[in-house]
């Protein structure tokens, strides 16, 4: 995941992970044989593990220092809800319908990530100062981001 995050960007890596996660839930939902179910479980486990690397990097680089901890906590709460939901819903509905209901997760991630900016730190690392400035302006909702941009640039080493 670290390689993917550096090559495709933080946003790009998170978007790419929606594909194996969605494919895994579809395989589990429609799978009739054990190898298909195992394949779906492998894909969902792989994507879930990769998200646990990519999302904290994205949060760390995007969030203001004053709310970074709370956003990290929200990720943890989301994971716990993601564990609790199948336990509760699985009592009432068959596993294949449960898996198909979980297709909502990667679809919603893809839709939400489509509307957010790439990490300014990643963009600066690639030498794209103009795009990094635009990303910071979008994130902070202020026009004067030069001081923060300089600080991020100071701590960003080119690859």
- Domain range summary for the chain, segments of one domain joined by +: 2-116, 117-159
41 pLDDT above the threshold of 60:
yes
pTM of the model: 0.85
The confidence score (pLDDT) of residue 157 equals 62
pLDDT band at 28 (very low <50, low <70, confident <90, very high): very high
CATH match for 2-116 among 3.40.1080.10, 1.10.540.10, 3.40.50.920, 1.20.1250.20: 1.20.1250.20
Residue-averaged pLDDT of the chain: 89
Write the DSSP assignment of the chain as a string of letters: -HHHHHHH-HHHHHHHHHHHHHHHHHHHHH--SHHHHHHHHHHHHHHHHHHHHHHHHHHHHHS-HHHHHHHHHHHHHHHHHHHHHHHHHHHHS-HHHHHHHTTHHHHHHHHHHHTSPPPHHHHHHTT-HHHHHHHHHHHHT-S--HHHHHHHHHHPPP-
Q: Per mean pLDDT, which of 15-29, 119-133, 134-148 is the most reliable?
A: 15-29
pLDDT in tens, 59-81: 988 888 888 889 889 989 999 99
């Amino acid at each position: 995941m670290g390689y993917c995050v550096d090559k495709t960007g933080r946003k790009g890596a998170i978007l790419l992970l929606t594909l194996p996660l969605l494919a895994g839930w579809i395989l589990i939902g429609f799978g009739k044989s054990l190898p298909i179910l195992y394949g779906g479980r492998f894909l969902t486990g792989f994507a879930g593990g990769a998200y646990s690397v990519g999302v904290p990097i994205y949060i760390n680089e995007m969030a203001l220092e004053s709310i970074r901890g709370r956003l990290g906590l929200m990720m943890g709460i989301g994971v716990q809800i993601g564990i609790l939901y199948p336990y509760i819903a699985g009592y009432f509905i068959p596993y294949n319908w449960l898996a198909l209901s979980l297709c909502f997760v990667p679809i919603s991630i893809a839709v939400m990530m489509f509307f957010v900016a790439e990490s300014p730190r990643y963009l600066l690392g690639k030498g794209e100062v103009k795009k990094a400035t635009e990303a910071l302006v979008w994130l902070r909702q202020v026009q004067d981001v030069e001081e923060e941009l300089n600080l991020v640039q100071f701590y960003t080493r080119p690859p």
